[in-house]
Structure 1
Amino acid sequence: MAETHTFSYTLYLGAGPEQVWRALTDAEATGRYWGHRNVSDWQPGSRWEHQRTDGSGVADVIGTVLEARPPRRLVSTWARPDQDPADPAASVVTFDLEPYHELVRLTVTHEKLADAAELAAAAKGWAAVLSNLKTYLETGRPLPHDPWLMP
């Protein structure tokens, strides 16, 4: 098997575990700060889609929910729409939520990235999304500009 890469990032959010869980799994909430709606019933084995918010219904990422333990842990595969989300080579994203006083420590781990370019793209994308998630949860509104569009 070829060597793969892993991206991991931990941040602290001024919100409760249930609020963070909802922000990760509610289609309307994700649409506000992520620019895509995460659509699923979030049951293990279910499909999830990362759908554009333009009303087209186009999913830019698809996957299978591998584990869901609200409000502590969510694990799913991530694949392009032309890939099989059950393919063992699909990358895997894990959200671990841990209460820390009045905060939540959120660790995002994106595993099985194919190469250094995919790792760099994941790092840039996750930095933008997680910054927007933090702002959204702590202020009630996303950042005024889409951070993933920054050069």
Structure 2
Amino acid sequence: MADKLEFVYVVYIESAPEKIWTALTDPGQTAAYWGHSNVSDWQVGSQWEHQRTDGSRVAEVVGTVVESAPPTRLVTTWAEPGTGQEAEPSRVTFDIAPYGEIVRLTVTHQDLAGEAERDAVAGGWPAVLSNLKTFIETGRPLPQEPWTMP
């Protein structure tokens, strides 16, 4: 079997680690810039869901909290719901490192099944994290959802 792939993205945000942590884990804030609510109690071993905000609360991504060290590190598994036990989930790590008045947020999405999955996350994470940066720094997301741009 081929080695699993990973995607790493780094963004610098004028903020404090606590604000970044809250923006990643608060359902209302994730809904504002991500278009989905991240729902969990964020305790190690707990389940988390990436739920639609259209009122249906349908989870489009599910996983388990692997590591939770507020406000500097969050690690979760990442899978499509209903994929069964045969599919191995990927893993997403959020590392939040303060430096003066800015924060370096590094997102590492690893254990990707192949090039198609890597291409999908390579198109998604930059859009989501750009929207997060704008949301944190201005109090509002970008005027258009960046992931819908052709």
Q: What is the distance in 1 between the residues matched to 2:90 and 2:53?
A: 23
Q: How does the TM-score come out when normalised to structure 2?
A: 0.96
Work out the CA distance in 1 between the residues paired with 2:115 and 2:100. 36
Aligned length: 150
The one-letter code matched in structure 1 to 2:136 is: L
Counterpart of 2:52 in structure 1: which amino acid? Answer: R
Counterpart check, 1:51 vs 2:51? yes
Alignment partners' CA distance in 1, 2:132 and 2:30: 9
Q: Which runs of 5+ in 2 are unaligned?
A: none
Structure 1, gaps ≥5 residues long? none
1:79-124 per-residue CA deviation (whole Å, 9 max, x = no partner) reads: 001135x878210000000001110000000001111111011011
1:22 aligns with 22
Amino acid at match of 1:113: L
Whole-angstrom CA distance in 2 between matches of 1:12 and 1:30: 18
5 Å matches for 1:10-89? 10-84=10-84, 89=88
Give the root-mean-square deviation of aligned CA atoms: 1.3
- In the TM superposition, what whole-angstrom CA distance separates every residue of 1:131-150 from its partner, at most 9, and x where no partner exists? 00000000000001000101
Q: Residues 18-72 of structure 1, C-alpha deviation per residue, up to 9 Å, x if partnerless?
A: 0000000000000000000000000000000000000101000000000000000
For 1:89 and 1:45, the matched residues in 2 are separated by: 17
Give SS of 1:99's match: strand
Equivalent residue number for residue 116 of structure 1: 115
- Distance in 2 between the 1:99 and 1:145 partners? 29
Deviation at 1:4, TM superposition (A): 1.1
Looking at structure 2, the residues matched to 131 and 117 of structure 1 have their Cα atoms a distance apart, in angstroms, of: 22
